[in-house]
Amino acid sequence: MKDGNVLKKTIVHGDQLTEERARNVQWTYKLGDSEADRLEGLECTFSEFHLKMCMYEVTWIELASDYNKLF
């Protein structure tokens, strides 16, 4: 950061709740005087790992449910 300007953006990733909280913090400070005050250097993203885990969990529950119906 130089003179309140962002030189390089930083990626912040996590689950959906983490991303939502990071965006809410950015919205809270959006009236800041400089890029740094407005937290414009943070790039909030949803991590695909968490999405894959959710998909696996749903698939596993469906498979287990189908298996239990056979017996």
Residue type at 39 in one-letter notation: L
Residue 24: predicted pLDDT: 93
- What H or E segment, with its residue span, contains residue 14? strand 10-14
Q: Find the domain containing 21 and state its range.
A: 10-70
Q: How far apart are CA 37 and CA 49, in angstroms?
A: 30
Q: Which H or E element spans position 44? A: strand 42-46
Q: What percent of the chain has pLDDT over 70?
A: 89
Section 31-58 average pLDDT: 83
Q: Could you tell me the two tokens for 39?
A: 């937290």
Query: For the ranges 2-6, 18-22, 37-41, 67-71, which has the lowest average pLDDT?
Result: 67-71
For residue 66, is it within any domain? yes
The answer as to whether 1 is a domain residue is: no
Predicted local confidence at residue 28, as pLDDT? 93
Determine the Cα–Cα distance for residues 33 and 3; give it in Å rounded to an integer. Answer: 11
How confident is the model at residue 13, as a pLDDT?
80
Number of compact structural domains in the chain: 1
| 20 vs 1, higher pLDDT | 20
Chain centroid offset of residue 38 CA: 18
Between 4 and 2, whose confidence is greater? 4
